[in-house]
Amino acid sequence: MKFYDDALALDLAVGDAGAVADVGYGKAFIQELRGDLPGAKAGFEESLRQWQKDQDPYDSGYDLFSLGEVLLAQSDFAGARKALEQSLALRKEGEDKVLLGETQLELADLSLEEGRVPSEVETDARQAVEDFKKEKAWDDEALAWALVARALFAEQKFEEAKPAAEALRLSGFPRRVRVLKFVWTMQSSRLVCKP
């Protein structure tokens, strides 16, 4: 974190506001990975203010997505929905199908957390799997499979969830936070459903 603090001090000293936003975002991302959600939220909000001031829709879309992830992790569903919907609107203006799909997938995940009908979330997640396959976005495909499995668990379709879990395992991308959330959900479901 010292690297980020030193870089921020230097960028502030020379008055490079864009670099301040970039470095602040990077620091917030590390804080999120370390589990410092309040620090990450504050960092994402600060970098977002700068990017919005600079009228930078691309980086604002990234930042809003990251802010939405943090708010979802904090169970601030209304705040997460607002940030993710704003990110989605900005990403629709661009032509990157992967970024758009990531945001739609995160909104589907949020919907599951909010209590939306799991079969609807499953349908959205399965479509995301296909979209990410076409774009060769394997890491995002893995996240989509994790959401398919979570939705099937929520529907208590445990046997049907096995192929989704296997597809996730075979994707070779087990390090993301969402995947850990999936594993926790799967283990919890096993405990609750034991005869």
Domain of residue 85, CATH code? 1.25.40.10
Supply the DSSP string of 39-64, one letter for each residue.
Answer: HHHHHHHHHHHHHHHTT-HHHHHHHH
> Do 101 and 41 fall into the same domain?
no
3-state secondary structure of 74: coil
pTM of the entire predicted model:
0.77
Number of structural domains (the chain) is 2
Residues 68 and 117 in one domain: no
Please say whether the beta carbons of 144 and 112 come within 8 A. no
The verdict on 147 and 171 lying in the same domain is yes
Is it the case that residue 179 has pLDDT exceeding 60?
no
pLDDT tens for 38-81 read 999 999 999 999 989 988 888 999 999 999 999 999 999 999 99
Q: Which domain holds residue 32?
A: 1-94
> Are 160 and 183 within one domain?
yes
On whether both 7 and 66 belong to a single domain, the answer is yes
* pLDDT, tens digit (0-9, with 9 covering 90-100), for 75-134: 999 999 999 999 999 988 887 888 888 999 999 999 999 988 899 999 999 999 899 989
Region 159-169: mean pLDDT is: 80
Q: Please indicate, yes or no, whether residues 119 and 166 belong to a single structural domain of this protein.
A: yes
Domain boundary among 59, 74, 94: 94
DSSP 107-143: HHHHHHHHT--HHHHHHHHHHHHHHHHHHT-HHHHHH
Half-sphere exposure of 87 (CA within 13 A, CB side): 28
Between 81 and 162, residue with greater pLDDT? 81
